[in-house]
Homo-oligomer: A and B are copies of this chain.
């Protein structure tokens, strides 16, 4: 048995290592080409933990494999159609960052569905985005019209939803109860239509309070930061975050929510779908300006849809049921963001802003996967 199966120190992972599905998935991910997963012993504080560490080379190989060839015979839309559901009176930058990142990585079309107040502002950031002013907040809706407005919002969004390869729920969504109710309906519809969904920021607030929205949704990715992860662990596992056994706890969490993929953001990013745990730890930037999470959510959306295309095109039918495109997309998105952040920091140092990082996404992807 190779070393990457040699788990220890946690019942869940001993069980895991003996699971045929787990072994098969690790084998397939590794055979993606140079991509290898290794058992990673976290020996700090004398408490052994479990993780599957992804070297930079491994992660870059994932990016190379899933990034589609730029073929002149392809038509508009085939390299990805992404939508971001977010943007309200208060927040407009976040959905822009997520949507423009998707385009800069290589998606063909990027839409934003936001409130009426937010739309002109988001549109003005860039003519490249298609911005739909369709969401409503409580302050603009009378009680007696809530049911009809809610139905209208749902119909305005759902008439588009099946065109998208992936949607991102949450950047700049805010916490207005009426708006979140509408977004719950949108999420339910998207799930019924089998649309991959990345959930971040206020979308995680929504999901943490209503886990049924994502329970068992294998095409969902949650991207919590430290605080969002804490709330999720408390709600689902009914315990505190255990950094000494971070991978095992993340694995339990993903499993307990029925196999959603969780990308836990931190000094290194931990990714699990309840079957594998991957650790992306290439160096990013010490700068913590707001908005980097939005880049990540847009990036994961594009790469997940590319990974889905890649897997459905592979000849080995077996891999289709085992390789998880949301995990591959998360590894790729995390890796690219870190590399772009690192490059932006080299140039701008303490003055680095999120827009500077976005400007480096293209070059970083080109370095990893040249478009020829």
Residues of A within 8 A of B (CB): 67, 70-79, 89-93, 96-97, 103-106, 108-109, 117, 119-121, 123-133, 225-226, 267, 283-284, 286-292, 348-351, 353-355, 361-363, 365-366, 370-371
> Given A127-B93, A130-B290, A371–B354 Cβ distance below 8 Å?
no
Cross-chain contact B289 with A128 (CB below 8 angstroms): yes
The minimal Cβ–Cβ distance linking A288 to chain B, given in whole angstroms, is 4
Cross-chain contact B90 with A130 (CB below 8 angstroms): yes
Q: Which residues of B contact A125 (CB under 8 A)?
A: 124, 127
Q: Which residues of B contact A131 (CB under 8 A)?
A: 90, 92
Of all A-B residue pairs in the complex, the 9 with the closest CB atoms, nearest first, are: A351-B362, A93-B127, A70-B286, A106-B350, A76-B288, A124-B124, A121-B123, A349-B371, A96-B127
Cross-chain contact B105 with A351 (CB below 8 angstroms): yes
Which of these, B117, B123, B349, B362, contacts A92 with CB under 8 Å?
B123
Cross-chain contact A109 with B290 (CB below 8 angstroms): yes
Most buried by B among A119, A124, A354: A124
Cross-chain contact B353 with A366 (CB below 8 angstroms): no
Cross-chain contact B353 with A103 (CB below 8 angstroms): yes
Cβ contacts A to B, 27 pairs, < 8 Å: A67-B350, A72-B283, A72-B284, A74-B288, A75-B225, A75-B288, A89-B119, A90-B130, A90-B132, A92-B123, A92-B127, A92-B131, A93-B126, A93-B129, A97-B127, A105-B350, A108-B288, A124-B124, A125-B127, A128-B289, A348-B362, A349-B362, A349-B371, A350-B365, A350-B371, A351-B361, A351-B365
Q: Which residues of B contact A354 (CB under 8 A)?
A: 127-128
Complexed CA–CA distance, A348 and B362 (Å): 7
Q: Which residues of B contact A366 (CB under 8 A)?
A: 349-351
Q: Which residues of B contact A105 (CB under 8 A)?
A: 350-351
Which of these, B74, B126, B286, B289, contacts A103 with CB under 8 Å?
B289
The minimal Cβ–Cβ distance linking A145 to chain B, given in whole angstroms, is 15
> Given A267-B73, A288-B76, A362-B348, A353–B123 Cβ distance below 8 Å?
no
Closest to A291 in B: B128
Q: Which residues of B contact A284 (CB under 8 A)?
A: 72
> Given A350-B105, A350-B106, A350-B365, A128–B355 Cβ distance below 8 Å?
yes
> Given A91-B130, A127-B92, A355-B128, A108–B289 Cβ distance below 8 Å?
yes
Q: Which residues of B contact A119 (CB under 8 A)?
A: 89
Closest to A81 in B: B290
Cross-chain contact B128 with A350 (CB below 8 angstroms): no
Cross-chain contact A77 with B127 (CB below 8 angstroms): no
The minimal Cβ–Cβ distance linking A12 to chain B, given in whole angstroms, is 27
Q: Which residues of B contact A71 (CB under 8 A)?
A: 286
The minimal Cβ–Cβ distance linking A54 to chain B, given in whole angstroms, is 18
Cross-chain contact A70 with B350 (CB below 8 angstroms): yes
